[in-house]
Amino acid sequence: MQPYEIMGVVNVTPDSFSDGGTFEDAAAAIAHGRRLAAEGAGIVDVGGESTRPGAEPVPAPEELRRVIPVVEGLAGVARISIDTTKLAVAEAAVAAGASYVNDVSAFRLDPGLAGLVADRGLDCCLMHMLGEPRTMQQNPRYDDVVDDVKAFLEQRMAAAVAAGVREERIQLDPGIGFGKTLEHNLELLRRLDELTELGRPLVIGTSRKTFLGRLTGRDVTERVNATVATTVIAYERGASVFRVHDVAATADALAVAAATLPRGWPRTRTTTSTTTTTATTTTSPRAPR
């Protein structure tokens, strides 16, 4: 079994930053999701509301109209994640075949999501975001971005566990690009190993993001190579789940990276979970701050 997992992105939206409108039609989105699974995505993440900077909220009925036919069409092809902050959407998606809830608000916008995840024994991803999509890029500030993100994720994980979510069902995402400057994103990547101390798998989503365009000068459709570079860096520093648009390139890069790192990489984290294996003493060099 490979020591990492790829989460392929299926945006069923007209306004997502990278592929808005491309897969708005359910049949096109289903075909795309099947292609991502064939290329190596173990999880297909279906979302009907853009979370790009400045995005406007989508009413639940419209979000449901967009995503439920796609979830139904992909059920059984791969593990299906529903990318939503709304309980009603998650409930319907789970009934249609989803088994993973990816919430960019970490259960803050609709706390009822924690109860759904707990009651149904679902996997979930809790992500750090400063504010909300409409405001998150308006002069984001931190005392220390890594320490602040780590404290937030620790607090949200504790809240989820208190609501009945089993710790081994939780994955954590530092929210690259969600209320962060270029410097914040780079610092999170440099010191990603510090977040592994939280004891849960780290989800990384750098795919095609603006900070990569600023570094390379590439258009959003030309950032595959930059995305792959950050994916390999994140894997070396302890991340194990990668949310990407370009699955085939990512799968190849991770296969090579995994072949060069010690067996059992990424490092296993010590937790109270009965399903988590014992931590190794393998460490990665820490970049200077």
Cite the active site residues: 209, 243
Contact 108, 156 (CB under 8 A): yes
Which among 138, 148, 30 is positioned nearest to 80, based on CA atoms? 30
Residue 241 zone, left/alpha/beta (φ > 0; ψ -120 to 50; rest): beta
First to last CA, the chain: 34
Measured CA to CA, the distance from residue 14 to residue 49 in angstroms comes to 9
Sequence-ordered list of residues with C-beta below 8 angstroms from that of 25, at least 6 positions apart, any chain: none
